[in-house]
Every structure is written in C-alpha cells, then in structure tokens.
Amino acid sequence: MMPMVATRILIADDESIIRMNLREMLTQHGYEVIAEASNGVTAVELAHKLRPDLVIMDIKMPGIDGVAAARDLIKERIAPVVLLTAYSERSLIGQAKDAGVSGYLVKPVRDTELTPAIELALARYAQFQDLEQQVSDLQEALETRKLVEKAKGVLMEIQGLSESDAFNRMRKTSMDHRKSLRDVAEAILLTHDVESGSR
C-alpha cells in the first residue's frame, strides 16, 4: 500500500551503491528521497536545513558516525532516525538505543523489511512527541494552578473574600476580559507586588 502523502526521507551512507539501492527501493514504495549524504556532517546539515520526515543513516560514516548524528537530530527534534547496520556492528546498537534511534535495518537491506521499519519508526516518533506534549501540558496546568492558588490567597487576604468568592471573582474577570485564568492570576500577583513595594 502506497503512503497517502509521500514521506520525505534523507539517506546517508558513505557507499554510493547502497544509497542508490535504497533510493530505488524507497521510490518504488512511494516514499520521496529529498536528499542524500555521504558523511555524517553533511547528513546533519541537510537534515537541519530540509527537515525530513525520516533519516535513514549508516551507523559508521566519515566525519560524524551515525550514532552521534542520530543523537543530534533526535535531541534537536529534527526527525526520527533509522540506522543501517552490518551484523558485525551489533555492539553499537546499545549506543544507538541510548541515542533514541527509532529503528534498525541490517545490510544488505531487504525490500520487504523497508516499509515496516519506516512505518514503525514514524509511529514511535509520533508517540514520543505526543508524550512530550502531554508532559508539557501537565507542567503548564500545574504552574497555572499554583499561580491561581497564590492569587486567590491575595484576594482573600486583601479583600476579605472567602476562597470560593475569590475564585469566582477571578473566573468572572477571566471571562469578562477574555483572558486566561493564568493571566488574571499573574496580573493580581503583579499588582500586589507593586503595591506592597510602594508602601
């Protein structure tokens, strides 16, 4: 089955014959090869510039090896990486796993293994991004809650309001001015700080 929108792939291998074979297989499967690199440095530069959907890279390359290049691309959230390995390079797979690599293909790459490896890598990467977003949202919610609690305390202290009245006042201000509850809380705290400082 052909992908609906062609997945944009960057190939990096120091052997031109391997790049050529990969390009041919990928194109037959409906993927778009947007660039090729013969060393790790060029691969990283091209990935930063072109933002591919996936990078397929040899584990051993001149300049920067595949593991170091993959670590950089994953850390910078550029793209998921599938590494090409020879059977003799099994020891490097542990390092690759630590770098966050999304998949492996053993050379010579078999046509039947290509699509499953790519689709699995893309799915894993999407899951990872979703998790990161969830963590970020939770941190944001927690931070907002802390600010709201603090601002509520200020209103209770200064205006002698009950906890629920203080919260309702903040919520009403939020709706009336079309501001988030966090913005309202920050404004209350800032005003309080300024007034406290000028006394």
CATH fit for domain 8-109, picks 3.40.50.2300, 3.40.190.10, 1.10.101.10, 3.40.1390.10: 3.40.50.2300
Predicted confidence at residue 146, as pLDDT, reads: 92
49-84 pLDDT, tens digit per residue, is 999 999 999 988 888 888 888 888 888 888 999 988
Give SS3 for 106: strand
Same fold, 8-109 and 136-198: no
Edge to edge, the sheet with strand 103-106 lists 32-37, 8-12, 54-58, 81-85, 103-106
Instruction: List, as one string, the DSSP characters of 32-90.
Output: EEEEEESSHHHHHHHHHHH--SEEEEESS-SSS-HHHHHHHHHHTT---EEEEE-GGGT
pLDDT of residue 90: 64
Please name the helix (run of DSSP H) or strand (run of DSSP E) that holds residue 9, with its range, or none: strand 8-12
Give the CATH number of domain 136-198: 1.10.10.10
Contact (CB, 8 A) for 47 and 55? yes
Distance from CA of residue 58 to its chain's centroid?
22
On whether the pTM is more than 0.75, the answer is no
* Domain locations in the chain as residue ranges: 8-109, 136-198
Q: Specify the pLDDT at position 6.
A: 81
Write down the pLDDT at residue 20.
94
Counting as low any pLDDT under 50, the low residues of the chain are 3
